[in-house]
Amino acid sequence: MASASLLKTSPVLDKSEFVKGQSLRQPSVSVVRCHPAAPSALTIRASSYADELVKTAKTIASPGRGILAMDESNATCGKRLASIGLENTEANRQAFRTLLVSVPGLGQYISGAILFEETLYQSTVEGKKMVDVLVEQNIVPGIKVDKGLVPLAGSNNESWCQGLDGLASRSAAYYQQGARFAKWRTVVSIPNGPSALAVKEAAWGLARYAAISQDNGLVPIVEPEILLDGEHNIDRTFEVAKQVWAEVFFYLSQNNVMFEGILLKPSMVTPGAECKEKATPQQVADYTLNLLRQRIPPAFLSGGQSEVEATLNLNAMNQSPNPWHVSFSYARALQNTCLKTWSGRPENVKAAQDALLVRAKANSLAQLGKYTGEGESDEAKKGMFVKGYTY
């Protein structure tokens, strides 16, 4: 994940510079230590939190560490629990989340954890606040702030992400509870277009959310997720990703978002899940790094790949020459084997925590370009793509 703390703020660009297939100009990209920008029209919304936002972004983007995404809604968490024969009760959700946050030594490989609202206010089974357990391990607590996807009227059966209403007050409350960064999940579907309307809606929503988050002390993860659904090849994904990120950066500038205080998180550039032409880790690395070169440095999402596949692709990117801090923000690609190992049994907690630590360490090595893939379990190699997957 490339924290935008590695970038200096850019001037407001005309939209024509972002579209028509042209590369985004990067005159101010820098990989040296970045100091907070002087107050200007671009940073006024985040001015009262500017220093803290930059510090938080740099902490999350520290070498050898990445993000554990455990922000599944209660309904989605219920599906995960059902896969191991457990009911979707608050007690069972609490037990699994306690298992995740309390893994000894997790902070060595994980720098941030994205939480669902219930988890942010929840305590462990031992009665300690989840947020406090994370902070003690030097893991920054984050929060999913959107209100889910709904049909986008006038589109080709596409979606838009709701949740801007009341976001400022909710973000202020999340900050008081201990959250320091935020996630907003919006998606773009290639089989359904994507339509210009859907791309614009996704980009505008991300930009408004980012500005509001910074205004309330939260570092926003900027994530237009390109869904894996479809039979399209990797070249089609690449073209759509370029289009989407051009639109995103245009609206980030229009909304005066402070670039030093955001984390950018695109999907890896892969073929559609149902495409007959599979891509190698090196191909995924080449296409994704090419996207970054043309659009600006971001971070990564596993998006239904197997645990090993996601790690191999990340490793290949970090073995290729690139100027970015490329890390990970994984949910199922970190949790899957852990969940199956636990199976809801108290006697399996230690083994499940060990399984999570193995995955976290593997991705830490991949983030440094040192992962070999040796000794991986069969479970870790299983694909996790779910067609039409929702949170």
> Known catalytic residue: 374?
no
pLDDT value of residue 375: 55
Q: pLDDT (tens digit, 9 = 90+) per residue, 57-87?
A: 989 988 889 999 999 999 999 999 999 999 9
Round to whole Å and give the CA distance between 261 and 6: 10
Region 264-283: mean pLDDT is 89
Region 372-377: mean pLDDT is 62
DSSP H helices in 216-348:
234-254, 281-295, 307-319, 332-342
Q: What is the pTM of this model?
A: 0.76
pLDDT value of residue 285: 85
Region 133-159: mean pLDDT is 96
Preceding amide of 220 cis, omega within 30 = no
Share of the chain above pLDDT 90, in %: 59
- Looking at the predicted structure, is the pLDDT value of residue 175 above 90? yes
Domains with residue ranges and CATH for the chain = 49-375 (3.20.20.70)
pLDDT value of residue 324: 62
Region 3-7: mean pLDDT is 32
* DSSP H or E stretch at residue 292: helix 281-295
> Which residue would you say has higher pLDDT here, 317 or 345?
345
Of 265, 307, 309, 376, the active-site residue reads 265
Q: 54 with 261: CB under 8 angstroms?
A: yes
pLDDT value of residue 378: 56
pLDDT value of residue 292: 83
Of 158, 223, 309, 376, the active-site residue reads 223
Beta bridge mates, 187: 225
Token digits of residue 373: 């893939």
pLDDT value of residue 376: 57
> Which residue would you say has higher pLDDT here, 332 or 285?
285
> Known catalytic residue: 223?
yes
pLDDT value of residue 333: 80
Q: Which of 42-56, 75-89, 300-314 has the highest mean pLDDT?
A: 75-89
Token digits of residue 186: 């919006």
- Looking at the predicted structure, is the pLDDT value of residue 8 above 60? no
Round to whole Å and give the CA distance between 167 and 326: 29
